[in-house]
Amino acid sequence: MVQKDKNEFPRERILDEAELLFARKGYHAVTVREITTRAGCNLAAVNYHFGNKENLYLEVFKTRWFPRARRIMNAVDKALESRERISISAVIHAVASAFLEGPLTERERELHFQLMVRELAQPTEAFEIVAGQIMQPFFQKLGAIISPFLPGKMDEEQLMLSMFSVFSMILHLNFARVAVTRLTGREYDAAFRARLVGHIVEFSLNGLGGIYREESE
């Protein structure tokens, strides 16, 4: 049996380590030496495979972050497809659950949101992928699904702000764990994540206009 624990391709190992380190410490705090050492290959490998450090960072988004974002979006789709009737409640639950409990492992989730927050706070070239290819289509699609259920008076901007609100909770509860743990005294285990999903759904459902609560299920 050949060792399969670590990827056999140095290029892939570099991408894995780079993502981990960029997420945890930020672009400038990470050195190419650190990445290549942890990836078990030579310093020059980064330049050979990616040209330079900046390009490696971009490649992390293209080959790691982006596919994972797609996995989350697919999880939302799948959760909604399996239902006959769609309700706002179901949509919010599907979204919150996909992000907080969904297809990613805990480790992946942490990486994913850390990278995302870094780009939101201080956009680089990678922001184009995050915003243009993921966020915009995602919000657009979600808006189209839930707008028929909402009061006619809710205009497009209001809908967008509401989706931001929901998304901000999801984001916050994922990336500000240190604060959440400190102030609630709870660890991020499965039970707590389920609790968070429940809270987000309830809070958002009311926030979107409590009247629509009992529409289905």
Partner DNA sequence: GTCTATAGCAGGATAGAC
Partner DNA sequence: GTCTATCCTGCTATAGAC
Footprint on residues 141-200 left by its own copies (CB under 8 A): 157-158, 160-162, 164-165, 167-169, 171-173, 175-176, 178-180, 182-184, 186, 195-196, 199-200
Q: Which does 11 bind (CB under 5 to 8 A by kind): its own copies, DNA, none?
A: DNA
Of 50, 56, 48, the residue nearest 17 (C-alpha): 56
Encoded one letter per residue, x for contact with DNA by CB under 7 A and - for no contact, window 25-54 reads -----xxxxx------xxxxxxxxx-xxxx
- Between 49 and 213, name the residue whose CB sits nearer to DNA: 49
For 7, the token pair is 């990827």
Report CA dihedral (132, 35, 32, 108) to the nearest 10 degrees.
20
We find the least distance from the C-beta atom of residue 119 to DNA, in angstroms, to be 19
Distance CA(192)–CA(14), nearest Å, equals 33
For 176, the token pair is 């500000």
Footprint on residues 81-120 left by its own copies (CB under 8 A): 114, 117-118, 120
Distance CA(146)–CA(131), nearest Å, equals 21
- Between 11 and 177, name the residue whose CB sits nearer to DNA: 11
Q: Is residue 52 near its own copies by the rule CB under 8 A? A: no
Phi, psi of 143, rounded to the nearest 5 degrees? -60, -45
Encoded one letter per residue, x for contact with its own copies by CB under 8 A and - for no contact, window 32-51 reads --------------------
- Between 28 and 85, name the residue whose CB sits nearer to its own copies: 28
Q: At what angle do helices 136-146 and 88-100 cross, to 10 degrees?
A: 150
Which parts of the chain fold into alpha helices (H)?
10-25, 32-38, 45-50, 53-60, 66-81, 88-100, 106-121, 127, 136-146, 156-175, 177-184, 190-207
From the list 25-33, 66-74, 88-96, 100-108, the region that binds its own copies by CB under 8 A is 25-33
Burial bucket for residue 86 (CB in 10 Å: 0-12, 13-18, 19+): middle
- Between 22 and 175, name the residue whose CB sits nearer to DNA: 22
Number of residues near DNA (by CB under 7 A): 21
Residues that bind DNA (CB under 7 A): 9-11, 30-34, 41-49, 51-54
Residues that bind its own copies (CB under 8 A): 24-29, 114, 117-118, 120-123, 127, 131, 135-136, 139, 157-158, 160-162, 164-165, 167-169, 171-173, 175-176, 178-180, 182-184, 186, 195-196, 199-200, 202-204, 206-210
